[in-house]
Amino acid sequence: MPELTIDGRKVEVAPGTNLIEAARKLAIEIPYYCYHPALAPVGSCRMCQVEILDAGKPPRVTIACRTEASNGLNVSTTGKDCVAARAATLEFLLANHPLDCPICDKAGECDLQDFTYRHGSGVGRFTEPKRATLKHEPIGDHILLDQERCILCTRCVRFMDEYAKSPSLVVAGRGDRNVIAIFPGEPIHSNYEGNLADICPVGALTLKEFRFKSRVWDLDTEESVCTGCDRGCSILLDTKRNKTLRVRPRVNLQVNGHFICDQGRFGLLDALNPVGREELGWVNGARVTAAEAASALATTLAAERGKWLVLLSARLTCEELLLAKAALRPLAKQLAYVPVAAAGGDEILFTGRRAANQKAIERLGITALSEEAAANLLAEPTTVGLLSFDGALAARLMSQLPAAAKSRRLAIVDVIAKAVMANAAVMANAVLKPPHGAELFVPGTLFSEKDGTFLNVGGVLQRARRAQRWPQGTVSESQLLLQVAASGGVSLAELTAKPDLTFALLEALGQPGAMLAQLPDDGLKLAAATEVAVA
């Protein structure tokens, strides 16, 4: 393990570590543009210049990203030569960079702004007209390119080549006419295109979906987990006025590294901002409050104990699944779930299994049923009805019932978005119907509207923080399950006696108990032998 000195402080690092990462261990900032921890270093921006101090020799200026730490190396990040070199680099970068900050989406989180303030000279000497190139040029499904803002760090080119495995960008032209461009007539089509806006250190690559939506300092940001598939990538949810405007990757080396796929990034924008969301409940064709619908469901399950098939959903948090198992198993004819198969995944991050918490359902010992088996169980004469926490699944099962079993009743607890009618007159005269014809409907909550955990396909338990408020009057799934247990006389003392449900969850999985707030930011890797026997 080489030991080196940076700004007079010693640090020990792993062999092969470059000086940027070595300095990061000491919380010393070395500015850079082209370097990215997930990409091969190229040393093209020349921003990360430091001084190597050799005894008896003048200081030697070099770039930190391409210099590996070695034993006894003495490095200075504050020497006058490297400080002047950084200022000169910034001056050249700003020579042609437009003053777009007032309208640029990157303003407020732009490395060029930040480093100019911290490392620049503060005075520009160029008076010549700035170079004019393409602005807001669509180059893919989600990305717009402003060539004149580009500082040619080539992160985007290398990302598409090295990580996305879809070479789509190139440095075209020569000399001062170098620009980032797509191949002629071949725009970007990749499931990882959105990451280009994240890795671009300036405002050259921006998202169509976020363009001009908000200033970044007006956003509220919470750490969460992507539910687009069971990879469970660590993400950041940026919200404004209770609406999710942007989804970004959060670095988690044991789950998703530095990036996320577009299926999750843009899929969540739609999922977390449902249009025409059902906020009222339904009971026997009448619209009621969510609380009244929850009360009616609890009373029904208690009165018809052992007669309802209950199907859980992988959209629920681990804590809700644990609570559902305890509250509903004594009241249901069968408590089960229908596994979701993988379809359309890739070999990078997206698994194709659109069931974020399926691993948690498996490990909690909930019975797995195929759709055919669930439909057959629902068709049995001793089954009164179906309670499903997945509206789409419920609709499919009810459509499969034979004519003799069409009288089976349906209860749904889910987030349902109503179809939006463009014609206001048609909407005014429309006959309102309960979702999927449910006798009982309780509007559910989004995962972004509550605190909880998700267990990904690799067995990593991650915390998702509440980023949005649920609609006024909504009853959360946890509140509903507590009400069902109370109405049915089911004791939950064993769970409620714990510090919180996450503590009880970990104990149920054979792990040392820990509260939700005590989970590591990058998640807790569970031991493999935590399967609960299926009852």
CB 325 within 8 A of CB 481: no
Q: Strands of 137-138's sheet, edge to edge?
A: 137-138, 143-145, 205-207
* 110 found inside a domain: no
Identity of the residue numbered 102: P
User: Coil, strand, or helix at residue 19?
Assistant: helix
Boundary of a domain, candidates 35, 66, 93: 93
In the chain, the N- to C-terminal Cα span, in Å, equals: 51
* 475 found inside a domain: yes
**Sequence-ordered list of residues with C-beta below 8 angstroms from that of 50, at least 6 positions apart, any chain:** 19, 30, 61, 62, 63, 64, 67, 75, 76, 77, 79, 82
pLDDT at 176 (0 to 100) = 84
pLDDT at 124 (0 to 100) = 83
> Structural domain tally of the chain?
2
* 309 found inside a domain: yes
Q: Phi and psi at residue 145, in whole multiples of 5°?
A: -115, 130
pLDDT at 389 (0 to 100) = 98
* 7 found inside a domain: yes
pLDDT at 422 (0 to 100) = 45
* 354 found inside a domain: yes
pLDDT at 531 (0 to 100) = 54
In the beta sheet, which residues pair with residue 98? none
pLDDT in tens, 78-116: 999 999 999 999 999 999 999 899 999 999 999 999 999
Q: Which residue has the tokens 């169980």?
A: 377
Cα 400 versus chain centre, distance: 35
Enter the pTM of the model: 0.93
CB 255 within 8 A of CB 234: yes
Q: How many CA atoms lie within 13 A of 215 on its CB side?
A: 7
The sign one gets for the Cα dihedral 439, 443, 446, 447 is negative
* 53 found inside a domain: yes
Q: Give the residues of the chain that fall short of pLDDT 50.
A: 420-422, 427, 535
pLDDT at 534 (0 to 100) = 56
Number of H helices, E strands in the chain: 15, 24
Q: How far is CA 398 from CA 29, 57, 372, 404, 418, in A?
A: 60, 82, 11, 12, 20
pLDDT at 530 (0 to 100) = 52
Domain of residue 88, residue span:
3-93
User: How many angstroms separate the CA atoms of 116 and 111, rounded?
Assistant: 8
pLDDT at 284 (0 to 100) = 95
pLDDT at 421 (0 to 100) = 41
pLDDT at 527 (0 to 100) = 83
8-state DSSP, 18: B
* 146 found inside a domain: no
What CATH number does the domain containing 30 carry?
A: 3.10.20.740
CB 493 within 8 A of CB 265: no
Boundary of a domain, candidates 61, 93, 125: 93
pLDDT in tens, 397-443: 999 999 988 899 999 999 998 754 445 555 455 568 899 999 999 99
**Sequence-ordered list of residues with C-beta below 8 angstroms from that of 514, at least 6 positions apart, any chain:** 502, 503, 506, 524
Q: Which DSSP string corresponds to 441-457?
A: EEE---GGGS-EEEE-T
Boundary of a domain, candidates 52, 77, 93: 93
* 427 found inside a domain: yes
